[in-house]
Amino acid sequence: MKKTSFLLVFLSGILLSQPVWAQQHRCGNTIILQNMEQQAPQRLAQLRQLQDQIVTRALATPQAQAKTSVLAPIPLVFHFVLTQDKYYLLGGDTGIQRRVRTELAHLNKDFSATNTDLNKVPAPFASLIGNAGAVFGLAKATSANTISAGIEVRIVNNPPAYDVNDGCSIAKHSTWGLPAWDNTRYLNIWVTNIFGGGGTGGIILGVTVPPSFTDISVGFPVDEMGIVLNYGAIGVRDFPNQYFIPEIDQGRTLTHEMGHYFELRHIWGDDDGKCPGNGGQDDGISDTPPQADATFCTAGVCPTFPKFDACSPSGNGIMFMNFMDYVDDASMYLFTRQQAQVMNDQFAASTGESYSLTQNPGLAAVGVDDARLTQLPGWNISPNPAQDRVLLTLDPSSGFRGLEITSLTGQVLLHIGPKAGALQYQLDLSTLPRGFYIVRCVFEAGVQSRKLVLE
């Protein structure tokens, strides 16, 4: 597939000013397709044709012969581009690491059909549950902005709008964001404040530039390929006062956007309510029932099975609980067999656009057990930024085993061990040059890290 750095410029829009509970949760890919239809319909037609070819190729392989797993876990790198207030809203470095690891654990469950809510799939659809066989891990590599392997953070105050209409392009470049790591080796995920919506209203949870969007006929730059998540839609809630967009706290935004990255469409086909056979596009997959339009929850109240619409007015109705619809996190449960087959085909050695991602197995972590995550203790180091001294404060039951302060390249500059009964440690940093450092606290349940600034 030929690639190009030509960028199709889309009209920008702004979110309607509504109370959060009155707003619908949307995916930015719908906005991008609507813009294409209005501004460059020939490009949309070429994209549709390309997507149809991808699905046809994938489904031409008999299900019995389809792969059940990729060759190796796919390395993910998370680029957090945040203002200072949103950085603290997510819990700083430790909170960000916690969200990434809960996200990773649940993403692996969703893509292996081992999610604990799979038993909520209605019985008529249970035989259609698919296992994509994909496994995801954190990239082992680091950079000047990493707070731990595979996780970058950049604080950008007074940034320009990271606009969904161009896939949040500005967040993906060095002036106002963090550039992609080599996307033949890593799958890049940006986390930021997403603006725009083309006048549709609602909260944009994520937007994806999959490989098909970087085809010369579509026009997105190759170095912008990847996923962008709203900062309020990353991770899985594990204590009550964490910040999340209401009802979007089970990690399903990344599951949905990852489906797009591996070339799945929304199950209603983004065709303005049309039905197959009557000018509708649908999603090209036969084991997702025909569907007229997106399904939403309202103030936490979601549809119940069966739900009918103009395209599936009888029988079992529509599959609104599919990961590629728009219901809240707690009401989506499955990919179908054919959806899994389309995604799995992306890893094929001869034809898969994402095959190279399976050939870079160096990982810092692959999934984390939820019970272990809930045991990780709280701790604080202050002030941060600091000058000569900082105070480490621990939870009483932390199981503290030691602390290291390292340079960004990993050189250990200070080490302390535990003192019986001590919950506070005063650290003298007066001999260290001004700059950025990593603080690593070791506990019985695991290791936590965060960035420290000396100024």
Q: What percent of the chain has pLDDT over 90?
A: 63
Q: Which residue has better confidence, 67 or 178?
A: 178
Region 285-295 average pLDDT: 96
Residue 154: per-residue pLDDT: 97
- pLDDT at site 185: 93
pLDDT reading at 89 higher than 90: yes
Instruction: Give pLDDT tens digits for 363-415.
Output: 766 654 433 333 456 788 889 888 999 999 988 777 787 888 888 666 788 88
Does residue 23 or residue 250 have the better pLDDT? Answer: 250
Per-residue pLDDT reduced to its tens digit, 127-169: 999 998 888 999 988 899 999 999 999 999 999 999 999 999 9
The CATH number of the domain covering residues in 376-454: 2.60.40.3080
What is the rounded distance in angstroms from the CA atom of residue 243 to the CA atom of residue 248?
Answer: 10
User: Is beta strand 187-192 parallel, antiparallel or unpaired with respect to 74-82?
Assistant: parallel
Q: What is the pLDDT of residues 196-209, one digit of tens each?
A: 865 555 799 999 99
| 71 or 296, higher pLDDT | 296
Averaged pLDDT, 179-195:
96
Q: How far out from the chain centre does Cα 116 lie?
A: 20
Select the more confidently predicted residue: 79 or 410: 79
Tell whether the model's pLDDT for residue 246 goes beyond 90: yes
Statement: residue 19 has pLDDT above 80: no
DSSP 340-409: HHHHHHTT-TTT-TTGGGGG---EEES---HHHHHHPPPEEEESSSBSSEEEEEE-TT--EEEEEEE-TT
CATH 2.60.40.3080 in the chain, residues? 376-454
pLDDT in tens, 95-136: 999 999 999 999 999 999 999 999 999 999 999 999 988 889
Evaluate the CA torsion angle 306, 310, 311, 314 in order and state its sign. Answer: positive
425 close to 403: Cβ distance less than 8 angstroms: yes
- Given a cut of 70, whether residue 446 has pLDDT beyond it is no
- Find the range with the poorest average confidence among 96-100, 256-260, 331-335, 391-395: 391-395
Kindly report, as residue ranges, where domains of CATH 3.40.390.10 are found in the chain.
Answer: 20-365
- pTM metric for this prediction: 0.78
What pLDDT shows up at residue 367? 57
Tokens of 199: 């006048």
Q: Which fold has domain 20-365?
A: Collagenase (Catalytic Domain) (3.40.390)
Q: What is the mean pLDDT of the chain?
A: 86
Taking residues 49-68, report their average pLDDT: 78
What are the pLDDT digits (tens) for 418-434? 888 899 999 999 999 99
The b/e string for 79-116 (b: 16+ C-beta within 10 A; e otherwise) is bbbbbeebbeebbbbbbbbbbbbbbbbbbbbbbbbebe
